[in-house]
Amino acid sequence: MSTARTLTASDLWWCLGAVALALAPHAGRLPLALSLGVAACVSWRMLGALGRLPLPERHRPLLWWALQGLAVLTFVLIYAVYQGQLGRDAGVAMLSAMTGLKLLELRNGRDYYAVCLLTYFLVVTNFLFSQAIPTALYLLGVTMLTTSALVRVNAPARLPARACARLGAMMVLESLPLMAVCFVLFPRLPGPLWGVPTDSTQAVTGLSDEMSIGRIARLGTSDEVAFRVAFLDSTPSARDLYWRGPVLWATDGRTWRAGAIENTGAPPVVVEGRRLRYDILLEAHGERWLPALDAVTYSDAKSRAQRGRDLVATEPIKRQLRYRLESALDYRLPDLSPADRAAALALPKQDHPRSRALAARWMAQGLAPSQIVDAALVNFRQQAFSYTLTPPVLPNDPIDGFLFDTRQGFCEHFAAAFVVLMRAAGVPARVVTGYQGGEYNTMSDYFLVRQRDAHAWAEVYLETRGWVRVDPTGAVAPERVSLGINSFAGERGPLRMLDSAGFAARVFNGARQLWDSANYHWSNWVLGYSAERQRGLLEALGMEEVTPARLVLWLTSVMGALLGLLTLLLLRNRAVTRLPPALRIYGTFCERLARVGLPRSPSEGPLEYAERVAASRADLAAEVRAIAQAFAFIRYADAPTGLSALRARVHAFKPGRPT
C-alpha cells in the first residue's frame, strides 16, 4: 500500500478497534478528564467511519494548529497533575493523550501505520501494571487485532474481513516459536538502565516487621497469595510448616518489635538429621523479611540471618522474588548469650500487673521452666479462652484485658500474652510472626500460602533444649494448626460451604487448584525468568559456561534454523484464503503440465487447454481430456459431483518429459 493512500471506513474500524482495546485497561488508571478526552477522540473517529461526523476537511490547517495547541496544553496539564514526576504513570498518560490526538489527524496510510505502531507500544505499557495471565491473553488478542488492521490496509478491498483477521492472527501465531527462542536465549542485562521510577511498584499487603494487637487479624480474611513453596526432596508434615518471618524481642506493652539491640547475627547451628531443600516464590510485600523454615542452613537470596535466625533481605521486596533455601528441622544451638537472655526477659516496668501476679504464683510454686510453659498452656485451655477472627477491642492493657477479661483473641493475642507470662515468670521468650500451614496443590506439587495463613506464635528458651516453639493458639484451637485457618473462617460463608465435600465443591476446588497451578508456573517460568534462571536452565540443557556472547551465538543459530523451517512451511504453497477444492486440484494438474513445458495461459479455458496439450502430446491426450472434462463439469455444471474422482485422477497423473 502506498503511504499516501486515503483510508476507507473499514480501514478505520480496524485501527480504531485495536486502539480502543489497547487503551481500555488504562481508562481507570488515567485522570478522569484524560480518559474522557481520549474516549471522545476515539468516538469521534468511529462516528466518522459511520459517515456521521467526518473530520473538518475544509478547515484542515485550522485543525492542525488546534491539535498542536491541544497537544502542548495536554502535556503541560499532565506535567502539572503528576507534579513533574515523569515515571510510569505520567508516561502512560502522555502516550494515551498522544494516541488520542493522533487519531484526529488520521487521514492517510502513513498516519495509519503510526497509529498501529503506537498501539503495539500501548500494549506494552499495560504490562507495567499487570502481568497476570488474563492480561497477557487479552493483550495477545489486541496484538493480533492490530496486525489484522495492518493486513486490512494492505489488502485489496475485496479481501473479506474474516480473511484479514485470520491472516493477522495466523501471523502472530507463526511468530510464537521465534518469540519463545528469543525469550529463552536472549541475554538478560542485569539491573535497570536508568532506574525504575518509584511508582512502578504496586501497593502490597503482608506482615509488617512489627506486631500490634489486631494487625494480623486483618490479614485473616485476605485471599491474596503470600508465597508458594515447592519442596525438592520430601515434604515435611503439616505441623512443621511454621514459616518464620520477623522475630520480635522488644515490647512496650502494646506493640512488639524486633528491638534495637545490636545485632550479633545468627548463632551457629549444629544440624542433627536431614536437611530440607525448597524453593520459595515470594510475592512483593514491601518489607525485608523472607519466610523460611527453622533453621536455615543455606540461602541463595541476597540476605542474612538475624540473631533470632530470621532471614532478612538486603533490599525491601518490591517485586516477586524467588529463592532457594535449605533448612534443618532438627538442630542444636549454642547457649543463650547474656545480651540475648536480657532481651528475651525484658518487660515494660509498670504494665500487666495481673499477668505478673499469675506468673509470680507459678514461680512461688517452684515450677521448672518447662512446667511453667505447661501451666500457661493449661491455663489457656481451662479458662474458656476462645479463638476468633474478630476479637473485642482492648483499649487499656491489652495483655491483662485479654488474659483475665475478654478471653477472646486471635493468634497474636495468644502469642503476646504467652510471651509476657513467660518473661514475667523468668523464662526467656520471644514472639515469632510468620505464616503457618499452606494449601497443597496436588497438580503441581507445591504449597500455596495465603495472607490469611499469617500467624504468630512464641518461642521459649529451655536450658536443656534450646529455643522451643510453643504455639499457644494450638492449645485453644488445635484445628487452627492442623487444618489451617479455613476451619475458622466462619464469617467467610462461601468457603465454609465448600468444606462440605460435594461434587460441585470438588470440581470448584479442582479448578481453583488448576488455576493457581497455572499462575505458579507462569510466575515461576515466565515472569521470574531472570539471568540466574536462564543460566540454570541452559546449564541443565548442556550449555557450559553461559556467557552473553555464547547466548547470542546460540540465538542466531537457532533463529536461522527457525527461519529456514518457517520458509519451508510457507513455501508449501498454502493459500491465504483457501480456493475451492476443484480449483486447487486443477491447479495441481496445471502445475504438473507446466513442469513438462506445457503451461496454461491465463486466458485459456480448461477444454481449450486440454486440446492444445493433446495436440502436442498424443500420449497424454486421453487422460488430459478426461481430467479437463471432469473439472469443467464440476465447475460449470449445476450438480458438482465427481470431486473425489477428479482428485484421484489428478494424483495419478504424472506426465513425463516428451520423449
Partner 1 sequence: MDILDRRRVYIVPTRPGFALFGVIGLILIGATNYDNALAYILSFLLLGLMFSAMLRTWRNLKGIALDTEDAAPVHAGMPARFELSLTDASVLARYAFSFRRLLPRSQRFWWWRPQTEGFGECPTIEGGGALATLSVPTLHRGWLALGRVEMSSQFPLGVFRTWGYFKPPARCLVYPVAAGKLPLPGVTATAVDEAGSAGPGVDDFAGLRAYVAGDSLRSVHWKASARSDDLVVKQLQGGGHGDLWLRWVDTAALGGVEARISQLTRWVLEADRGGTPFGLQLPALELAPATGPAHRERCLRALALLPT
How far apart CA 481 and CA 487 sit, in angstroms, is 10
C-alpha grid cell, residue 203: 501497593
With both helix axes pointing from N to C terminus, report the angle between 606-616 and 581-595 in degrees, rounded to the nearest 10.
20
Residues 123-142 close enough to bind partner 1 by CB under 8 A: 123-124, 127-128, 131, 136, 139
Neighbours of 6 (CB within 10 A): 8
Nearest Cα neighbor of 425 from 350, 348, 373 is 373
> Which of 111/210 has CB closer to partner 1?
111
Nearest Cα neighbor of 11 from 159, 144, 139 is 159
How far apart CA 468 and CA 418 sit, in angstroms, is 13
**Of the candidates 37, 141, 177, 642, which one interacts with partner 1 according to CB under 8 A?**
177
Q: Do residues 430 and 248 make contact, with C-beta atoms less than 8 angstroms apart?
A: yes
> Which of 511/526 has CB closer to partner 1?
526
Residues 306-325 close enough to bind partner 1 by CB under 8 A: 319
- Considering only 60-68, 77-85, 185-193, 211-219, which stretch makes contact with partner 1 by CB under 8 A? 185-193
When asked if residue 622 is in the footprint of partner 1 (CB under 8 A), the reply is no
**Of the candidates 428, 600, 610, 650, which one interacts with partner 1 according to CB under 8 A?**
600
The site string for partner 1 over 82-111 (x = CB under 8 A, - otherwise) reads ---------------------------xx-
455 given a catalytic annotation: yes
When asked if residue 605 is in the footprint of partner 1 (CB under 8 A), the reply is no
> Which of 386/644 has CB closer to partner 1?
644
Q: How many residues bind partner 1 (CB under 8 A)?
A: 77
Neighbours of 315 (CB within 10 A): 9
Residues 516-545 close enough to bind partner 1 by CB under 8 A: 526-530
Neighbours of 170 (CB within 10 A): 15
**Of the candidates 1, 71, 284, 375, which one interacts with partner 1 according to CB under 8 A?**
1
Q: Do residues 582 and 640 make contact, with C-beta atoms less than 8 angstroms apart?
A: yes
Task: Cell 487519531: give the residue.
Answer: 103
> What is the closest distance, in whole angstroms, from the C-beta atom of residue 133 to partner 1 in the complex?
10
Give the list of residues 6+ apart from residue 79 with CB closer than 8 angstroms, or none.
Answer: 86, 90
When asked if residue 496 is in the footprint of partner 1 (CB under 8 A), the reply is no
Contacts 24+ apart (CB under 8 A), 166-171: 167/576, 168/144, 169/144, 171/147
Residues 329-388 close enough to bind partner 1 by CB under 8 A: none
When asked if residue 200 is in the footprint of partner 1 (CB under 8 A), the reply is yes
> Which of 74/523 has CB closer to partner 1?
523
> Which of 295/546 has CB closer to partner 1?
546
- Considering only 221-229, 324-332, 439-447, 570-578, which stretch makes contact with partner 1 by CB under 8 A? 570-578
When asked if residue 172 is in the footprint of partner 1 (CB under 8 A), the reply is yes
When asked if residue 10 is in the footprint of partner 1 (CB under 8 A), the reply is no
**Of the candidates 275, 492, 550, 584, which one interacts with partner 1 according to CB under 8 A?**
584
212 has which bridge partners? 255
How far apart CA 332 and CA 294 sit, in angstroms, is 11
Q: With 0-12 CB in 10 A as exposed, 13-18 as middle and 19+ as buried, what is 622?
A: exposed
In three state form, how does the secondary structure of 571-609 look?
Answer: CCCCCCCCCCHHHHHHHHHHHHHHHCCCCCCCCCCHHHH
When asked if residue 186 is in the footprint of partner 1 (CB under 8 A), the reply is yes
Residues 141-170 close enough to bind partner 1 by CB under 8 A: 143, 147, 150-151, 153-159, 167
How far apart CA 215 and CA 219 sit, in angstroms, is 7
- Region of 214 (left: φ > 0; alpha: ψ -120 to 50; beta: rest) is left
> What is the closest distance, in whole angstroms, from the C-beta atom of residue 560 to partner 1 in the complex?
11
> What is the closest distance, in whole angstroms, from the C-beta atom of residue 150 to partner 1 in the complex?
5
How far apart CA 469 and CA 460 sit, in angstroms, is 7
C-alpha grid cell, residue 504: 460441585
> What is the closest distance, in whole angstroms, from the C-beta atom of residue 99 to partner 1 in the complex?
13
> Which of 157/549 has CB closer to partner 1?
157
> Which of 396/601 has CB closer to partner 1?
601
**Of the candidates 24, 55, 196, 483, which one interacts with partner 1 according to CB under 8 A?**
196
When asked if residue 636 is in the footprint of partner 1 (CB under 8 A), the reply is no
Name residue 504's amino acid. A
Name residue 255's amino acid. T
**Of the candidates 176, 518, 553, 607, which one interacts with partner 1 according to CB under 8 A?**
176
**For the chain, what's the residue count?**
659
> What is the closest distance, in whole angstroms, from the C-beta atom of residue 233 to partner 1 in the complex?
29
- Considering only 273-281, 329-337, 367-375, 601-609, which stretch makes contact with partner 1 by CB under 8 A? 601-609
**Of the candidates 571, 615, 618, 652, which one interacts with partner 1 according to CB under 8 A?**
571
When asked if residue 573 is in the footprint of partner 1 (CB under 8 A), the reply is yes
**Of the candidates 193, 364, 615, 618, which one interacts with partner 1 according to CB under 8 A?**
193
> What is the closest distance, in whole angstroms, from the C-beta atom of residue 399 to partner 1 in the complex?
45
**Of the candidates 174, 335, 445, 491, which one interacts with partner 1 according to CB under 8 A?**
174
C-alpha grid cell, residue 541: 540443557
> What is the closest distance, in whole angstroms, from the C-beta atom of residue 279 to partner 1 in the complex?
18
Give 357's Cβ-side CA count (13 Å radius): 7
> What is the closest distance, in whole angstroms, from the C-beta atom of residue 637 to partner 1 in the complex?
18
How far apart CA 388 and CA 381 sit, in angstroms, is 15
CA 121 to each of CA 150, 156, 393, 608: distance values in angstroms, whole numbers, following the listed order:
15, 27, 51, 55
> Which of 154/205 has CB closer to partner 1?
154
459 has which bridge partners? 430, 469
When asked if residue 599 is in the footprint of partner 1 (CB under 8 A), the reply is yes
When asked if residue 508 is in the footprint of partner 1 (CB under 8 A), the reply is no
Nearest Cα neighbor of 331 from 272, 248, 252, 267 is 272
**Of the candidates 66, 182, 505, 614, which one interacts with partner 1 according to CB under 8 A?**
182
> Of 15, 116, 164, 411, which residue is the catalytic one?
411
How far apart CA 621 and CA 625 sit, in angstroms, is 6
Q: Which residues are catalytic?
A: 411, 455, 471
